[in-house]
């Protein structure tokens, strides 16, 4: 290609560094002030390694975000392919797009031009769908074959379904084909080819040699939004007011995409594993590629369709490149769609569509919730599936059993408002609109359930999780459910440990001394699933389940089922405890009781210190199967008089919330613990405030206590005033029996340290009130 033409072309599409820098600053500021939560998943070095990035396309602002993130991470301003309609006129907007690296999709040298850019070290963003796929239907069939998915999308211009564009695949193949061919020529001693091509590409020989030595990596990436909102927003109303009426298409886009940006939305961008085009070439291809590169006078020659070449030999060598286009395209699409970030709305939507396929038009709400919960638990076990945090953090979905799961409530409420579902007589009724064919430009507004179901379709593991859940839901026993719910407790511990290891928490975390295993535990002796008696162990403030583990092991050895609860906020980081309330702690006790109960005919709760206060509150609600309660070193009155200043400090913290540095100074106080390997080193002031509230609630509820109760208290406890024991006895006047035993101890941890035979006192109480009778522990293998 003549140098003068190449210079004109490069000037026409020159990336303007100042424009890019301004755009990055503007988008950074916008990102900080809108509710869209952008998360990039995958190794950071993938952005630096990649040459061609392929994204699915669901909203218009995706055209800018990938380039923005790549520039932030790598400092490279990359090219992108944009619709030719934006470049028809030479106006401010078209010039701005060109300055950002935009190239019209109808430019006659599009692929050769991009290939030259990549060979000179540039990067390219491509949208192989060719436009927004609003219905997210990317599979030709309703139920995909797990090994041979057939991808296609709807084309508005052709009003029919078509395959994805092959441009990215052709680009990758031609670039790597060129690299292979030129490398082969150089290996054969034809060094003049390196010089010739360096001149053609306008780069140095050293740079070109380095470029052809590395593979051209293609990174298919998936962008997933959650949730979809269809309510009117300020942007759409303003546009409608100033234009005197919007077209349905424009109104839909402003509503959906305005809500994505300005209402709390998760945007997950997940880079798939790199695809290396050169892996498609065999030894014969490589020989022909050398000949093709030697014959080519410009990079454009490698992009010519084989049928346009005159010589049969040229057509054969060109075929070495082009015959791999569709397989590479399909491989990239499989990687792209398999990297969907699967969320609860996907599962719920596909579940509804599966029922409709079976002719089921209404379902009990409880049945729906249980099936969906089981599907979540099933998909958590699947490999190579990427889950939205709403299905990884149990706190986001365990409320499903109490109709208190915000993401499901939002999903159902939206469906009701749109006339897709009706609530009636404790059932969800699926209305005819769910199965009606919606217009392509209205489907996101009219039927987001169909959009979610379509988007999930390529994830075969999700189909399996749902199908298995539909079978299991009517056959799983309470014990089976309990095993899954205990798994949630462990996952919650793991999630919060990881979350609060963020570097921003290091100042406090690095002072922590706890090393004991802090996860919750469920001990089922001999793999049994039926026990005459189970014991729920509830640890104290600042501690973890490890605090009572020695007692738990002893009880397990005696044949009792044992559950060690982890109170919310404990066993991870003081920063988590700072964010939890006493009602969160109580909910942990309630969940632990519900998990243990299916394994037992009777349950005894053993609570230590603050765990005793929470245990008493729960026992005052008279849960089924409760046979007794042990309160060890449980406070109604504290020795530490500094606690009276907690409300003042807590109020100061709330006030100082406007000043983060000052708040950090006031938020924590050092803790001189008896057991530094178990307890937090730092006490959140907010946690102390919650402790006071929990004790006050216990004091209020003690008169409702009716079960047999053992109160153990160290007579020289330096944390809890020993008078608390007699106060508990006086307030718990309705208890069928209450035994107060003073333990000779000047320390608080009477159970952990087994002071004055405390553990055997507890075991004796359990034996007396919940004896394991011969033949009542029926051995059934645990899962």
CATH number, domain of 653, equals 3.40.50.1820
**Are 666 and 756 spatial neighbours (Cβ–Cβ below 8 Å)?**
no
Three-class secondary structure of residue 428 per DSSP: strand
Q: CA 117, 152, 387 angle in degrees (round to 5)?
A: 85
Measure the CA–CA gap between 119 and 210, rounded to whole angstroms. 10
Which token pair is 16?
A: 């303007």
- The answer to whether residues 344 and 289 belong to one domain is no
Q: Is residue 776 part of a domain?
A: no
Q: Do both 290 and 407 map to the same domain?
A: no
Structure tokens at 180: 């292979």
Q: For residue 256, is it within any domain?
A: yes
Same domain, 322 and 353: no
Q: Are residues 412 and 305 in the same domain?
A: no
- Distance CA(491)–CA(591), nearest Å, equals 14
493 is a domain residue: no
Note the pLDDT of residue 146. Answer: 67
Residue with tokens 């089921």: 360
The helix/strand/coil state of 597 is helix
Our CA angle for 462, 432, 465, nearest 5°, is 10
Q: Based on the domain organization, do 300 and 359 belong to the same domain?
A: no
275 located within any domain: yes
Residues 461 and 522 occupy one common structural domain: no
Task: Please identify, among 296, 312, 334, the residue that sits at the C-terminal boundary of a domain.
Answer: 334
- The per-residue pLDDT for 556 is 97
Coil, strand or helix at 493: helix
Q: Tell me: do 309 and 417 sit in the same domain.
A: no
DSSP-derived 3-state class of residue 710: strand
Compute, in degrees rounded to 10, the torsion defined by CA atoms 393, 397, 402, 406.
Answer: 110
* pLDDT value, residue 781: 35
* Residue-level pLDDT at 403: 75
* Secondary structure element (H or E) that encloses residue 601, with its range: strand 600-608
Shortest CA distance to 17 belongs to which of 106, 73, 68, 77? Answer: 77
Is residue 500 domain-resident? Answer: no
**125 and 98 in a common domain:** yes
For 554, the token pair is 């002893």
Q: Residue holding tokens 């090994």?
A: 147
**Domain check: are 718 and 755 in the same one?**
yes
* 297 in the same domain as 180: yes
Closest CA to 174 of 106, 108, 118: 118
Instruction: List the alpha helices (DSSP H) in 458-537.
Output: 460-472, 478-499, 506-509
The answer to whether position 601 is within a domain reads yes
Which one of 270, 303, 334 terminates a domain? 334
Q: For the chain, what is the domain count?
A: 3
Within 13 A of 386's CA, how many CA atoms are on the CB side?
20
In a domain, 682, yes or no: yes
Predicted confidence at residue 31, as pLDDT, reads 83
Going by their DSSP bridges, the two strands 265-271 and 218-226 should be labelled as: antiparallel
What is the Cα–Cα distance from 361 to 365, expressed in whole angstroms? 13
Same domain, 176 and 301: yes
Q: Phi and psi of 403, rounded to 5°? A: 55, 35
Among all chains, which residue has been given the structure tokens 């005819």? 432
Tokens of residue 294, six digits? 């030697």
Q: Is omega for the bond preceding 227 within 30 degrees of 0, making it cis?
A: yes
The list of the chain residues with pLDDT below 50 reads 644-665, 772-783
Query: How many Å separate Cα 440 from the centre of its chain?
Result: 29
**Is residue 66 domain-shared with residue 102, that is, in the same domain?**
yes
Residue 528, sorted as left (phi over 0), alpha (psi -120 to 50) or beta, turns out to be: beta
Domain ends where: 282, 306, 334?
334
CB atoms within 10 A of CB 267: 21
> E-assigned strands of 642-756?
668-670, 682-684, 709-714, 738-743
Beta bridge partners of 167: none
Mind listing the pLDDT tens digit for each residue in 315-373?
A: 888 888 888 999 999 999 999 999 999 999 999 999 999 999 999 999 999 999 999 99
Q: Transcribe 674-688 into DSSP letters.
A: S-TTTS-SEEEHHHH
Q: Write out the two tokens for 482.
A: 């309990």
Whose CA is closest to 585, among 600, 568, 571?
A: 568
Contacts of 342 (CB under 8 A, 6+ apart): 379, 385, 386, 387, 388, 391, 456, 459, 462
Residue range of the domain that includes 257:
3-129+164-334
Cα dihedral 537/543/549/552 (nearest 10): -10
The verdict on residue 508 lying in a domain is no
What are residue 614's phi and psi, to 5 degrees?
-65, -40
The DSSP string of 23-66 is: HHHHHHHHHHHSSEEEEEES-THHHHH-SEEEE--SSGGGGTHH
């Amino acid at each position: 290609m003549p140098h003068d033409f190449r210079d004109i072309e490069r000037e026409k599409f020159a990336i303007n560094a100042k424009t890019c820098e301004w755009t990055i600053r503007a988008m950074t500021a916008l990102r900080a002030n809108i509710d869209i939560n952008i998360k990039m998943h995958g190794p950071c070095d993938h952005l630096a390694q990649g040459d061609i990035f392929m994204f699915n396309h669901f909203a218009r602002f995706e055209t800018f975000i990938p380039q923005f993130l790549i520039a932030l991470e790598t400092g490279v301003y990359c090219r992108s392919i944009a619709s030719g309609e934006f470049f028809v006129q030479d106006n401010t907007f078209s010039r701005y797009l060109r300055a950002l690296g935009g190239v019209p999709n109808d430019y006659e040298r599009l692929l050769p031009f991009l290939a030259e850019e990549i060979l000179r070290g540039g990067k390219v963003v491509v949208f192989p769908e060719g436009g927004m796929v609003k219905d997210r239907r990317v599979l030709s069939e309703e139920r995909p074959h797990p090994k041979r998915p057939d991808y296609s999308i709807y084309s508005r211009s052709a009003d029919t379904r078509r395959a994805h564009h092959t441009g990215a695949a052709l680009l990758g193949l031609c670039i790597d084909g060129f690299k292979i061919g030129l490398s082969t020529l150089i290996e054969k001693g034809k060094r003049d080819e390196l010089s010739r091509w360096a001149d053609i590409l306008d780069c140095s020989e050293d740079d070109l040699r380095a470029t052809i030595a590395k593979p051209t990596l293609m990174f298919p990436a998936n962008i997933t939004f959650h949730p979809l909102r269809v309510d009117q927003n300020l942007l759409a109303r303003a546009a409608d007011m100033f234009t005197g009426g919007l077209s349905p298409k424009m109104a839909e886009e402003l509503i959906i995409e305005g809500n994505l940006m300005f209402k709390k939305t998760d945007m997950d961008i997940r880079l798939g594993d790199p695809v290396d085009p050169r892996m498609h070439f065999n030894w014969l291809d490589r020989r022909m590629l050398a000949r093709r590169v030697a014959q080519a006078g410009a990079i454009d020659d490698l992009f010519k369709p084989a049928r346009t070449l005159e010589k049969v030999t040229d057509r054969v060598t060109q075929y070495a490149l082009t015959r791999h286009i569709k397989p590479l395209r399909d491989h990239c699409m499989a990687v792209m769609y398999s990297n969907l970030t699967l969320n609860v709305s996907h599962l719920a939507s596909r579940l509804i569509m599966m029922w409709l396929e079976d002719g089921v038009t209404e379902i009990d709400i409880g049945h729906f919730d249980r099936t969906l919960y089981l599907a979540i638990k099933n998909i958590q076990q699947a490999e190579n599936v990427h889950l939205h945090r709403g299905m990884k953090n149990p706190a986001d979905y365990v409320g499903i059993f109490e109709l208190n799961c915000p993401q499901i409530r939002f999903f159902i409420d939206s469906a009701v408002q749109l006339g897709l579902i009706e609530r009636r007589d404790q059932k969800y009724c699926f209305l005819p609109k769910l199965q009606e064919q919606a217009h392509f430009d209205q489907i996101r507004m009219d039927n987001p359930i169909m959009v979610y179901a379509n988007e999930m379709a390529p994830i075969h593991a999700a189909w399996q999780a749902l199908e298995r859940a539909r079978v299991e839901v009517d056959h799983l026993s309470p014990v089976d459910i309990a095993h899954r719910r205990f798994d949630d407790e462990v996952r919650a511990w793991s999630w919060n440990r990881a979350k609060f290891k963020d570097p921003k928490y290091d100042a406090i975390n690095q002072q922590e001394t706890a090393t004991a295993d802090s996860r919750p535990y469920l001990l089922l002796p001999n793999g049994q699933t039926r026990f005459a008696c189970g014991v729920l162990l509830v640890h104290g403030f600042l501690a973890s389940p490890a605090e009572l583990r020695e007692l738990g092991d002893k009880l397990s050895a005696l044949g009792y089922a044992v559950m060690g609860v982890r109170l919310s906020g404990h066993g991870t980081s003081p920063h988590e405890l700072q964010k939890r309330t006493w009602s969160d702690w109580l909910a942990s006790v309630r969940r632990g009781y519900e998990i243990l109960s299916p394994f037992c005919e009777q349950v005894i709760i053993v609570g230590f210190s603050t765990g005793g206060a929470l245990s008493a509150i729960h026992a005052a609600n008279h849960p089924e199967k409760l046979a007794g309660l042990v309160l060890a070193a449980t406070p109604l009155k504290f020795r530490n008089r500094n606690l009276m200043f907690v409300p003042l400090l807590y109020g100061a913290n709330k006030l100082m919330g406007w000043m983060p540095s000052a708040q950090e100074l006031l938020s924590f106080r050092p803790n001189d613990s008896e057991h530094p390997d178990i307890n937090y080193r730092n006490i959140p002031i907010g946690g102390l405030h919650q402790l006071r509230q929990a004790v006050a609630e216990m004091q209020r509820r003690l008169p409702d206590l009716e079960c047999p109760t053992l109160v153990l208290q160290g007579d020289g406890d330096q944390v809890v005033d020993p008078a608390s024991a007699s106060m508990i006895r006086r307030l718990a006047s309705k208890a069928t029996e209450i035994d107060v035993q003073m333990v000779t101890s000047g320390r608080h941890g009477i159970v952990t340290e087994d002071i004055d035979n405390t553990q055997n006192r507890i075991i004796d109480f359990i034996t007396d009130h919940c004896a394991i009778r011969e033949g009542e522990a029926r051995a059934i293998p645990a899962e």
